[in-house]
Amino acid sequence: MKKFMAVLAMVAVVAFAAPALAATNPFMDVPQGHWSYDAVGLLASRGIVSGYPDGAFKGAQPATRYEMASIVARALVTVDAEKASKQDMELLKKLVMEFKDELDALGVKVDSLDKRVAVLEDRLGGWKVNGQFWFDARFASNDDNGNNSYSFGDTPEKNQFGFAYARLMVTKYIDENTYFFFRARFNDGYGDLDNWFMDRFFVNMKLPGDINFRLGRIYSDWEGDAGLYHSVMGDNEGGLWKDQKYDGFNFQKSFGMLDAELLIGRNFNILDSNYGSSTYGDNNDFMEYGLKLQANFSENFYLGVQGIFFDNDGDAMVTDNTLGRQVVTDDIQQYGAYLSYSFTPAIALRGYYYWQDLGDNPVYEDSPMAWSAMLDVKQDLLKFTSLWVQYIEQDNSFIGPRAANQYPAIFNPDLNGPVGQDGTNKTWLITAEQQWGDSKWSSFLQYLTTDWDSVDYDDTDQYTIGIGYQYTPQIKFWLAYNYIDYGDGAGTGANAYKGNESVVLFRTAIDF
Amino acid sequence: MTKQKTSSWIKIFTIAVFITAICAAAYAASLDNILMRWRKTAKYEDGTSNLTVAVTYYSAELVEAEIQAEAEKNLWTQDELERYKYRYLQMLNLSEMIPIKVEFVNNGPTMHPGPFDKMIDMTIGNKTYEPADYDKRLNFPFQGEKDGLVFFNRFDPKTGKNILDGQKRVTITLSPGISAIISSRGRNARFFWDINKDDPSKLYAGATAARLETDRLIKRLENLRKDRADEAARLKAIDDEISTVQSRLDELATIQ
């Protein structure tokens, strides 16, 4: 009975989910050249099929549905669903469906198989929902004159409990090469969760010619891609030119050793009349064109260049009454180069240089620059700690999504940096992180200091020390002490950049 | 910060760079170092959530170093070492496949990496290849740690040529869609190795090579015997049909 033998062969494949390793076939009446020889041998070795007392298998003899159901039932016990492929599991599921009544009569439970198959089928057909909750308890000295607050909202309060972030992320595979992704986020900190918004919303697809194409509300982090910044501990912040969002298209393609990335879109996340305020505007005043080329000469050395052009819709200078100064309304051009050299896989030296042409924008310096040098040492080298040492120098007129008011801050203070002013700010960032062997414990130390080189802003120093405990992959506890000394700058109002702040932060991070 | 302070910081920084460069030069080619060379790691962080992806390319240097380290650890004789090497190479199937080990430590949102063969590919030269086989456990959603082997065909199925011949670089790319933490950061997970100095033929020497070649020849012999049996069966079928036809012709001749 051909069907019976086919069932055997299929079951053999599914049950062991491995290339059919030849097993010695114990049945004298199954010839070695027979197509089912290996399958029958394998099933016999696992006790799924048995022969007759005379040592014969009698493969040509008709089988009842109960006999076939029995084979499937024994295979269900043996099957390694974790190793079986989607196709194999589907095959077994078909067999289960075919012999459902007989299996029911035999009292075989197939729930676990259904569950496994559902998991696989779900991959291409279903919506994947993930989430992140970072719940913070913050205890502060509140000595920063109420201006450079660590707190969630605009009003500084000593002790705060609330969400640093609450996010929901959804992925949906449309086909094997295309998926849709969005991230909804909340960061009001406390009170009603009434400020949800989507900061990612795009479709990613792989086009012919191995071109990765992304369209929608996109996020680019060229600086992070090249390993050019280290985050301020506990937050995503750190880079000078990062967190750039735009509505448009992004193309990525590799040509041998050369990686190319092209973006075209409308940028709503940079420097319109809301720039410098605590919220970004949605005025969407710029068309944006960007090109990045990175040459990977070897595993140890890469060199990149990038250019971004922001084409402003208007050409008139506007005075922002709230900020009390004129804001950017003209085109902006930015050019940059960066490189990385690894002495060994554990130690790398990197640097970047950015230069901008701000056209007729009302700033002190119309061609500001920024540069940085950094040393990245992995824990594998020093054993007891990793080490990140970075020096950043940046003109105060340098503009970007995260420029100027970036350093140093751990809790996103409502601090307007000296954007558009004269002078150059200089920052040192030193971070040492330790993973304690194979345990769930980790710790870190971070020192960050910025010399703003501006009348209204004094040197700012920040020290952070903390420990983390990865309780489970889903839950992490994180305890940090942070001290910021804002100095005694001479500014007033929103720029009253003085005082200091001590904060103890206990975070519970939950990912699902 | 004053200019003098900055100047001294720069001096300290320069000295630190030189010291680390000297340390780096003195960093012997230990197993750890060799492993780091061939086990590429990327860490994706989002605040306190993080995902580490490590991908290992089994170069001759790495395989030799791992086998040697195991031998030294267990004080093996040459014979024991050869047996271990035989099993190791047999498992990796380096003579027919390009094995890649993929490891994840996911302390972030649940990953959904299946079907994994559609989520990973290998680029060599201008061509991109999909896996021929992989650890099916990589299909399932997870948080925490998971690893598995992924195998790519070493020989082009059409031309029969070794796809690594004359190539300098192997690149592995993972779809950013496997994890929300990678996808939301807008980064691709990509790893590459310069393989121009890698020489897998070094592994195939001595007693291990003899055993592996014996295995290969036995397998080849089995295939040839199977082919011969198939051909013999076909020949017999043709002979049978010739006989049948001839018999029928003879019958027809008697009738006519």
Q: What is the DSSP string of A50-83?
A: ---TTS---TTS---HHHHHHHHHHHHHH--TTT
Q: Which residue, A111, A108, A39, is CA-closest to A69?
A: A108
Q: How far apart are alpha carbons B45 and B160 in whole angstroms?
A: 42
Residue A27's pLDDT is 67
Banded pLDDT at A274 (limits 50, 70, 90): very low
**Which whole-number Å values give the CA distances from B12 to B5, B8, B17, B25, in the listed order?**
11, 6, 9, 20
Predicted local distance difference test score (pLDDT) of residue B20: 58
What distance in Å separates the CA atoms of residue A270 and residue A361, rounded to the nearest whole number? 14
- Per-residue DSSP letters for A161-210? EEEEEEEEEEEEEEETTEEEEEEEEE---SSS---EEEEEEEEEEEETTT
Locate the chain A residue with the closest alpha carbon to B141.
A119
Strand partners, A165: A134
> Which amino acid type is present at position A479?
L
Q: Which of the residue ranges A185-189, A288-292, B140-144, B202-206 has the most confident prediction, judged by mean pLDDT?
A: A288-292
Q: Which residue of B has its CA nearest to A298?
A: B194
Q: What confidence score (pLDDT) does residue A198 get?
A: 87
Structure tokens at A295: 């040459």
Token code pair at residue B100:
């890649």
More confident residue, A218 or A121: A218
pLDDT surpasses 70 at A319? no
pLDDT band at A364 (very low <50, low <70, confident <90, very high): low
Q: How far is CA A175 from the centre of its chain?
A: 22
Most distant CA atoms of chain A, gap in Å? 102
Tens-place pLDDT, residues B19-72: 555 555 544 457 788 888 899 999 998 888 999 999 999 998 999 888 888 888
Most confident of A330-339, A393-402, B69-78, B82-91: A330-339
**Cis peptide bond N-terminal to A53, omega within 30:** no
pLDDT of residue A161: 87
What number of other Cβ atoms are within 10 A of residue A384's Cβ? 8
Contacts of A264 (CB under 8 A, 6+ apart): A248, A249, A288, A289, A290
Pick the more confident residue, A4 or A287: A287
A186 near A196, Cβ under 8 Å?
yes
Residues 6+ apart with CB under 8 A from B159: none
More confident residue, A450 or B15: A450
Nearest CA in chain A to B196: A298
For β-strands B97-111 and B142-153, DSSP reports them as antiparallel
Q: Which of A10-14, A163-167, A488-492 has the highest mean pLDDT?
A: A163-167
As a whole-number percent, the residues of chain A with pLDDT over 70 amount to 60
Residue ranges in A281-434 assigned as alpha helix (H):
379-382
**A296–B37 C-beta distance less than 8 A:** no
Contact A155, A191 (CB under 8 A): no
Q: Position of tokens 């200019």?
A: B3
pLDDT tops 60 at residue A115: no
Is B24's Cβ below 8 Å from some Cβ in A?
yes
* B53 to chain A, closest Cα gap in Å: 15
Residues near B163 by beta carbon (within 8 Å), at least 6 away in sequence: B98, B124, B127, B129, B153, B154, B155, B156
Location of each CATH 2.40.160.10 domain in chain A: 127-511
pLDDT at B96: 86
How confident is the model over A153-173, as pLDDT tens digits?
Answer: 666 677 888 888 889 999 998
Asked if pLDDT for residue A120 goes beyond 60, the answer is no
d(CA B99, CA B125): 18
Q: By C-alpha distance, which of A435, A418, A333, A331 is closest to A382?
A: A435
Check residues A292 and B87 and name the one with the higher pLDDT: A292
The sign of the dihedral angle between the CA atoms of B59, B60, B63, B68 is negative
Across chain B, what does the average pLDDT equal? 85
Q: Which residue has the higher pLDDT, B24 or B178?
A: B178
When CB atoms are compared, the residue of B17, B46, B49 closest to A349 is B17
pLDDT at A205: 94
Res A386: pLDDT:
96
In this prediction, residue A427 has a pLDDT band, given cuts at 50, 70 and 90, of confident
The total number of residues shown for chain B amounts to 256
Statement: residue A329 has pLDDT above 80: no
Which of A33-42, B15-24, B149-158 is most confident?
Answer: B149-158
Q: State mean pLDDT over A92-106.
A: 70
**Distance (Å) from the alpha carbon of A156 to chain B's nearest alpha carbon:** 23
Place A379 in a pLDDT band, splitting at 50, 70 and 90. very high
- Flag the least confident range among A43-47, A138-142, B201-205: A43-47
Nearest CB to B49 within list A83, A257, A511: A511
* Chain-centre distance for alpha carbon B247: 59
**pLDDT tens-digit map of A170-212:** 999 888 889 999 999 886 666 777 778 888 999 999 999 889 9
Mean pLDDT, chain A, whole residue set? 76
Task: Please report residues of A whose CB lies closer than 8 A to that of B128.
Answer: 210
In this prediction the pTM is: 0.76
Would you call A511 and B33 a contact, using CB atoms and an 8 Å cutoff?
no
Per-residue pLDDT tens digits for A241-254: 667 788 999 999 99
CATH superfamily of A127-511: Porin (2.40.160.10)
- How far does the CA of residue B71 sit from the closest CA of chain A (Å)? 23
What percentage of residues in chain B have a pLDDT greater than 90?
Answer: 40
What per-residue confidence (pLDDT) applies to B214?
79
| Interchain contact, A474 vs B185, CB within 8 Å | no
pLDDT value at residue A325: 44
- Across the interface, of B45, B118, B140, the residue whose CB is closest to A231 is B45
Of the candidates B20, B112, B186, which has its C-beta nearest A219's C-beta? B186
pLDDT of residue A410: 29
Structure tokens at B153: 């065909």
Chain A, chain B: beta-carbon pairs less than 8 Å apart: 175
Average confidence (pLDDT) over B188-207:
83
| CA–CA gap between residue A260 and residue A306 (Å, rounded) | 10
- Using the CB atoms, write b or e for B20-51: b if 16+ within 10 Å: beebbeebeeeebbbbbbbbbbbebbbbbbbb
Beta bridge partners of A344: A347
CA distance B173 to A212: 11
The string of DSSP letters for B177-246 reads GG-HHHHHHT--EEEEEE-TT--GGGGS-HHHHHHHHHHHHHHHHHHHHHHHHHHHHHHHHHHHHHHHHH
Distance from CA of A321 to the nearest CA of B (A): 32
| A260 or B115, which is more confident | A260
- pLDDT-derived band of residue A228, with 50, 70 and 90 as boundaries? very high
The pLDDT-based confidence of B101 (bands split at 50, 70, 90) is very high
pLDDT at A484 exceeding the cut of 60:
yes
Q: Is the pLDDT of residue A58 over 60?
A: yes
Over residues B178-189, mean pLDDT? 84
- Kindly indicate the confidence band of residue A276, based on its pLDDT and cuts at 50, 70 and 90: very low
Confidence of residue A509 (pLDDT cuts 50, 70, 90): very high
Contact B25 A210 (CB under 8 A): no
